[in-house]
Amino acid sequence: MSRKYKTEFRAYFAWDYEQELEELDRMSQQGWQLVKGGCFHSRFVKNEELRYRYQLDYRPDVEDMGRYLETFREQGWEYVNSTYNGWRYFRKIYDPTLPEEEYQIFTDRSSLGEMTRRLRKLALVLMSVALLMAAVEGVLLVMKPRLPQLIMTGTLLFEGLVIAWGVGLMDDPEKRRGRAKSGYIIWMFFLALVLGSGSSIYLMEQRYSSGVMYLGGIGDGSATVEHWGEFDIAYKDNYYLSAEISAQSPLTLSLVREDTGETVYTQELETAGEELPYIVLEDEKVKLRRGSYRIYLSDYYGETLAVNWSIE
């Protein structure tokens, strides 16, 4: 028993709407008639007794939907459905004796140009947003070289350049219609967007650690007092250590890898004076591998010692 309904999973860029129309016409010729068109998938019903020709209109800002649809009905077009982002699907019974112009939804250049301008405006906004965000992430990458920023910068730059390529196609209709189908590009576009942004956010969430350490009543004249904060590193990258230390005398701060005992960072810190006995360490760059680490405070001769620290 043959299927009555089927769903096709296909996606098209806005500037590839002619390719989508060709696919809908081909499906209709094979006996599959559109029930509901969508941005990523479309639903069809089997009916070999009919054959349609399809057209699309991009108009997200229809004020009077009734009048809008009536205008197309008067020209013989049947309304199918609309997508959430403003694409309207129409169809007309195919008659091979009629001229091709009968199946063009835009009968003059100004109407087609108006739709193209709306598409181009949307693409330019998306391109500008993507490239602006890529520039911001790029600045952050220069200031603090980190893997999440590198991934996000590359992702946004790729998205912006693909959209810029599409804007160029919209400005050259002959090139747009003449090029080969490249449906894989849009899946690469969305896959890069999902994987790139998702992995960047995930990696950022994995890297932050902070803690508070306190030691009181030390004043015993000991030359070495040690205390530590523990943290785990999920992946190899550049990390940035910050700390605010309340201390009455100099001390040494060290980062030590637990499994090997390797000291990966050490710094001798001086107090700012008796009136303001604070030591501030800000965004010290440290290259760390995956593993567990401890923060050691040593060589301290003062009394009360308190530390707020973070590594990100």
Co-location of 15 and 97 in the same domain: yes
| Residues 6 or more apart in contact with residue 230 via CB below 8 angstroms | 211, 292, 293, 294, 295
Co-location of 299 and 222 in the same domain: yes
Q: In whole angstroms, how large is the CA radius of gyration of the chain? A: 32
Specify the pLDDT at position 221. Answer: 46
Co-location of 196 and 235 in the same domain: no
- Give the neighbor-by-neighbor strand order of the sheet with 263-269: 227-233, 291-298, 251-257, 263-269
Co-location of 35 and 90 in the same domain: yes
Q: Are 292 and 230 in contact (CB under 8 A)?
A: yes
Specify the pLDDT at position 166. Answer: 85
190-200 mean pLDDT: 93
Co-location of 202 and 275 in the same domain: no
Question: Domain range spanning residue 246?
Answer: 209-311
Specify the pLDDT at position 218. Answer: 52
Residue 216 has pLDDT above 80, yes or no: no
Integer Cα distance of 137 and 130 in angstroms: 11
Specify the pLDDT at position 305. Answer: 78
Domain boundary pick from 207, 236, 253: 207
Closest CA to 171 of 133, 235, 117, 109: 117
Count: domains in the chain: 3
Q: What share of the chain in percent tops pLDDT 90?
A: 49
Domain boundary pick from 151, 186, 207: 207
Instruction: Kindly write down the DSSP assignment for every residue of 13-32, as one continuous string.
Output: -GGGHHHHHHHHHHHHHTTE
Residue 173 has pLDDT above 70, yes or no: no
Residue 264 has pLDDT above 60, yes or no: yes
249-269 mean pLDDT: 90
pLDDT in tens, 73-89: 998 999 999 998 889 99
Q: Are 209 and 36 in contact (CB under 8 A)?
A: no
Specify the pLDDT at position 195. Answer: 95
Co-location of 224 and 203 in the same domain: no
